[in-house]
Homo-oligomer: A and B are copies of this chain.
């Protein structure tokens, strides 16, 4: 589906064009075309390929989706794959999508697949800064990448919150299977975000350093900015992973501590009951000659001894932390 297709000159939108009119629109040298597609079918992609002379392999990638983030260079043009992400708060799940960008000296084509926000906002923002948009397709590439990367910040924030909630659970009193499951799921989410973001380090690096015709020198510092954000997201994710590993170990440690406590409680109470049971057993024996049994104070004395022993044990166990 064609979401948007416009021609720009000198940083300003000069015309809305249809796919068919692109050739016409590009006749004027100072113009470039910015097309936004959403899950296009093969036919539409074919038209676009024809219009700009895109490489077969890149088109195939854009059609199939499920690529990893990458930057590829075909003659004078760039093909960029980005993974987009959105927090699905209802189901506590991250939805991932994919965006493919074809950037040539006089065109930008964005192809969205799966979960992602519309890039209409990016277009509006770019159009409000004509002096920057005037730098051409390279700046549009920056604006789109910046938009995609910035949308990872709320996600890593949510993952940080989740870790904090887990810490509270681990170091709180409740010890549940649920904690372990959530640690595992957080680990899985982190790995997926990592996979989506970490290849961008290399992509940005190449955009900053390599001699790419479509990125004018003046646009480079902007990619350094994206690079910085990618590095930061990466760092936060690595940090969370390392903390999560420690949290898992702390969890295991505390489960053992708790088991220790249960064991000691078990031992303590067992001893506390065993003593009077044993004494009672002794005076339940049927020997003919057991003088204590005959004595009128035998019963209260034995009861006293039992209570005393239990009390003494209870005090001892309490003091040494077994009960």
Contact = CB atoms under 8 A, between A and B. Distances in A.
Nearest to A67: B228
A50 interface: no
A1 interface: no
A211 to B, nearest CB: 16
Interface stretch (A12-20, A21-29, A219-227): A219-227
Contacts of A232: 67-68
A195 interface: yes
A257 B191 contact: no
Given A224-B72, A288-B298, A256 B257 contact: no
A165 interface: no
Nearest to A306: B282
A263 interface: yes
Given A254-B180, A262-B267, A289 B281 contact: no
A2 interface: no
Interface residues of A, number: 82
Given A254-B177, A287-B302, A188 B260 contact: no
Contacts of A271: 269, 273
A32 to B, nearest CB: 23
A253 B252 contact: yes
Interface stretch (A39-47, A87-95, A239-247): A239-247
Given A250-B184, A257-B177, A285-B283, A273 B278 contact: yes
8 contacts: A68-B231, A175-B257, A184-B246, A255-B257, A273-B278, A278-B280, A288-B298, A289-B299
A255 B250 contact: no
Nearest to A55: B221
Contacts of A38: none
Interface in A28-68: 55, 57, 67-68
A229 to B, nearest CB: 10
B249 A252 contact: yes
A77 interface: no
Contacts of A221: 55, 57, 72, 74
Nearest to A58: B221
Given A67-B232, A253-B255, A263-B266, 9 more contacts: A171-B184, A180-B257, A187-B246, A248-B249, A248-B253, A262-B264, A271-B273, A274-B277, A288-B295
